[in-house]
Amino acid sequence: MSEPTNSAQTGRFSNFLTKQGISAKLAWGFVALMLFMVGDGIELSFLSNYLTDRGFGAGSIATLFSVYGLIVAVAAWLAGALAESWGPRRVMIIGGVIWIALEVVFLVGGVIPGNYTIMLLAYAVRAIGYPFFAYGFLVWVTMETSNEVMGKAVGWYWFFNAMGLGVISGYFVSAVVEPFGALGTLWSAIVFVIVATVMVAVLVKAQKGSRRPTKKETVDGLVKSVTIMAERPKVAVGGVLRLINTMSYYSFAVFLNVYMVQTIGFSQSEWSSIWGTMLFANVLANLVSGYASDIFGRLNVIAWGGGLATAITILGFYYVPQSVGANYWIVMIIGIIYGLALGMYVPLSAVVPLLAKEHKAAAVAVLNLGAGASNFVGPVIAGLVPVMGVAPVIWVLAGIYIVGLFLTYLLRAPGIEPEKIEARRRSRTDKQAEVSSASATKEN
């Protein structure tokens, strides 16, 4: 008698997940994504310091990360393009295997013996693994989710992504780096990625009709991820907005720490805690924005919660400390609002695939390209600080977000908002038409 009850409970839970934007057959994929991002993020807080201690120069370390960022940008685009022809599951598994294999080469052949050439090559190739796994799953989410809950779905995607990369990995490192040592902590990352890859292979269901693609299908998928921008210019606009989304974050990572500590007078620990709290606020915003977009409209959340709020807080980071000095709690509030504002761009991941429903993977590839490009544009803008000064660069960044606010409404198209939002808009349009018609009748 218990079997039907258990089955009913399972069905209710599955329905609950579906209403939250989490397809039941992809549920384990969200957990796998989080574990993968933990593994990928473990090195972020200490790898550069560890390599410095091992005797590598600042130039060599900068080159290592620059090459990594370049490969990530290209692989982010490829992940979306190949997911259309190969299938997201296959792309994710390939990404996981590449990451595991090349991390071993990176550590055994490069870091331990101090061989910079092998270290550089292995780290560059390993860079393919992260976007293949993470962005491959984003494609899968957009393929398997209905329009009505797409905002919630991508909100959950970015929540699990950021929770693994920016929160759990940080706490894990703080707990184990002393007892395990830096090298042991780097080795532990492989365990997380292995578990994540096995989960995708075993627990996450493949799409129906999954098969090995032909060479022509693969090439067609790559070509489509480029031509889609000409065929659907709104998709290209979405890619630009995705670039704008995290552009200031990567720019701030280069110069804001120096400005806040050396000019404003925060201690490094104070500013680090503000920065960390900002990231935690962003994690929460990734989830909240998905739900908010399904209530208030996806474009409204992106434009006003993302574009305007980010522009204001960017200016706040400069002008408020100029007025109040190193006031920890006031600047902390600005950091929290900034983190929340960056998360309001999450609905882009719902909107852009809906602009090309028959080629969602190609549209996501454009988003991924924008995300990768922000890794370069942000630091390039930060490079203007020695020439222009901090204040002009702050205004350049804020101005770009204001431009993004107006670009957002170029994405308007039928079917990109939840049906209840679309119905509300149609109702307003009909009422306005009735009023105009009545006015014209009276005048006549």
- Angle of the 390-408 helix axis to the 309-324 helix axis, nearest 10: 160
Mean pLDDT of 112-123: 94
Confidence grade of residue 379 (pLDDT, cut at 50, 70, 90): confident
Q: What number is the average pLDDT over the span 201-213?
A: 67
Residues 103, 119: Cα–Cα separation, whole Å: 9
Residue 212 in this model has a pLDDT that exceeds 70: no
pLDDT band at 99 (very low <50, low <70, confident <90, very high): very high
Q: Tokens for 175?
A: 């707990």
Alpha carbons 327 and 330: distance in angstroms, whole number: 6
For position 2, what pLDDT does the model report?
47
The span from the CA of 354 to the CA of 61, in Å, is: 40
Could you write out the DSSP letters of every residue in 264-285?
I---HHHHHHHHHHHHHHHHHH
pLDDT at 205: 75
The two tokens of residue 358 are 């028959």
Walk me through the domains of the chain, giving residue ranges and CATH numbers. 24-203 (1.20.1250.20), 221-431 (1.20.1250.20)
- Mean pLDDT computed over 205-217: 58
Q: What is the pLDDT of residue 267?
A: 85
pLDDT at 438: 60
- The whole-number pLDDT of residue 431 equals 64
- DSSP annotation string for 75-109: HHHHHHHHHHHH-HHHHHHHHHHHHHHHHHHIIII
Give Cα 389 to chain centroid, integer Å.
29
**Residue 5 CB neighbour total at 10 angstroms:** 9
CA distances from 400 to 11, 17, 279, 422 (A): 47, 37, 22, 29
Output the pLDDT for position 29. Answer: 92
* Confidence bin at 301 (pLDDT 50/70/90): very high
* 228 to 24, 224, 311, 362, 414: CA distances (angstroms): 30, 6, 30, 7, 18
Rounded to whole angstroms, the Cα distance separating 145 from 147 reads: 7
Provide the CB-side half-sphere exposure for 39 (13 A, CA).
Answer: 27
- Share the mean pLDDT of the chain: 84
Structure tokens at 428: 């307003």
pLDDT top residue among 97 and 420: 97
**Dihedral of the alpha carbons of 175, 177, 180, 183, in degrees to the nearest 10:** 150
Which residue in the block uniquely carries the two structure tokens 């997911």? Answer: 83
Rg of the chain's alpha carbons, rounded to an integer?
Answer: 23
pLDDT of residue 342: 94
Tokens of 161: 């992504």
To which residue do tokens 């799953």 refer?
137
Rounded distance between C-alpha atoms, residue 421 and residue 424, angstroms: 5
* Residues 6+ away with beta carbon under 8 Å from 147: 354, 415, 418, 419
Instruction: Determine the pLDDT at residue 1.
Output: 44
pLDDT of the residue at 7: 57
Judge whether 41 and 173 are in contact, CB under 8 Å: no
Average of per-residue pLDDT across 259-273: 84
- pLDDT on residue 420: 74
Distance in angstroms (rounded) separating the CA atoms of residues 165 and 340: 17
Q: Which of 28-37, 158-167, 184-193, 345-354 is predicted least confidently?
A: 158-167
pLDDT in tens, 321-351: 999 999 999 999 999 999 999 999 999 988 9
Query: What is the pLDDT confidence band of residue 309, given thresholds at 50, 70 and 90?
Result: very high
Output the pLDDT for position 214: 59
